[in-house]
Amino acid sequence: MVTGAAGLIGRRVLEMLRAGGRRTVGVDITKKNDASADILIADVADTHRLHSIVGSEQVGAIVHCGAVSGPMVMIDNPYGIVQANIVGTANMLELARIHRMRRIVFCSSNSAYGPMQERPVDAPAVAEDVVLRPSSVYAATKVAGELLLAAYKKQHGVDGIAIRLSWVYGPGRTTDCFIRTLIEDAQAGRTTRIAWGKNFPRQFIHVDDAARALLAALDADGAKSTVYNATGGTFLTLNEIAQLVASIHGNADIELADGSDPLDDYQHRLDISAIGQDLGFVPQISLEDGIRSYSGWLKLNSHQK
C-alpha cells in the first residue's frame, strides 16, 4: 500500500511498483487529477477505512508518503499538521503491527535536522546520528515519526525504515519550488529577481530518485539503521543552480541577492554513504538532466497550478 498516492512522490512510487509487476493499492485523501483515478480515497486518520483496505487487499507492506508535505503547508493550522503527520504515521504503524506486515517505509525529510552552523564546503558531510533541532512544526512531526518508527521496531518488532529526503523537484511538482520558478519565468520570458539566496545552499533530489530511495528501503535485506539520508548528491548554492537553469534556457534573466532563504534552514552537505552501503541506493539523475526533464514537463503542463 502506498499512502499519498496522488501526490508527487507517492504517485511515482506507485508507478514504479506497478511497472515492476508488483501488486499495489494506492490511497490518498483526494484524487487530484485524472492520473490518480485508480487510487482509493482514504484519510490517514480514518483507521476503520484503512483496516478495511488492508484486510481486503491483503497488504503486506506500506510506503507511507501521505502527509502534510512541507514546512510552509498549513502553517496556520499546526494542529492539523500534527494530526496528519504524527497521528497518521501512528495509524500506519498500528496497521503494520496488527496485520504483521513485512515492513513500513516512512517518508521523512531533511527538515528534521533543523538549522546547522555554517561550515566550510569541504567539511565532512552530516551523518544521520547528529542531534536533531527541528525549527518548524512540520519538521518536529518528521522527527516524531522517525522516533515512533524506531520505538515500534524495538518494542513491537515492526520493521520500519525512514528515508530523510532532501528538497524534491521534477515532473509532477506543481507546488512552490525554486527550480520551478526559474524554469517557468524563463519559459514565459520573465525576469527572475529574488532578494536572497545567492550563497545559500540547497540539496535537491529528483522525484524519480526520491522514489527509488523509498523502494530501496522497501526491498532491502538486513538494514543496519532505521533512518537514512537521501539527496541527489549535489551541494550547490541557489545562485549556482540558477546558473545551471540559465545554461539550459539561454534567455533566462536571473538575479539573486545575498542572504539566507527566510523560510528555510541553512544545512550543510548531508552524508548519503550509509544508504548506498546498506540499501544500495545511489542517485541516478544529475541536476542538469533533472532540470531538463522538469522543464520539458512544465512546458507540456503549463496549465497545472
DSSP string, 43-93: -TT-HHHHHHHHHHHT--EEEE--S--STTTTTT-HHHHHIIIIIHHHHHH
pLDDT tier for residue 212 given thresholds of 50, 70 and 90: very high
Comparing 101-110, 170-179, 231-240, the range with the smallest average pLDDT is: 170-179
Question: Phi and psi (nearest 5°) for 277?
Answer: -70, -45
H/E element holding 40?
strand 40-41
pLDDT of residue 123: 87
Whole-angstrom Cα distance, residue 246 to residue 238?
Answer: 12
The C-alpha atoms of residue 46 and residue 263 are separated, in whole angstroms, by: 32
- 78/66 Cα distance (integer angstroms): 17
CB 68 within 8 A of CB 74: yes
Query: Above 90 in pLDDT, residue 37?
Result: no
Say whether pTM exceeds 0.85. yes
* Res 72: pLDDT: 77
CA distance 107 to 119: 27
Q: What is the DSSP string of 106-126?
A: EEEEGGGG-------TTSPPB
Element (H, E) at 236: strand 236-237
pLDDT for the residue 119:
82
Q: Whole-angstrom Cα distance, residue 246 to residue 263?
A: 24
Q: Topology of domain 2-169+203-231+268-284, per CATH? A: Rossmann fold (3.40.50)
Phi/psi at 108 (5° precision): -95, -165
Least confident of 15-24, 73-82, 206-215, 238-247: 73-82
pLDDT at 35 over 60: no
What does the pLDDT read at residue 240? 97
Q: Is the pLDDT of residue 113 over 70?
A: yes
Contact 82, 134 (CB under 8 A): no
Pairing between strand 236-237 and 201-202? Answer: antiparallel
**Rounded CA separation 141/146 (Å):** 9
Residue 304 confidence (pLDDT): 57
Q: What is the mean pLDDT of the chain?
A: 94
What are the beta bridge partners of residue 205? Answer: 168
Residue 269 backbone class (left: φ over 0; alpha: ψ -120 to 50; beta: rest): beta
d(CA 165, CA 232): 9
What are φ and ψ of residue 3, in 5° steps? -90, 160
Specify the amino acid at residue 150. A
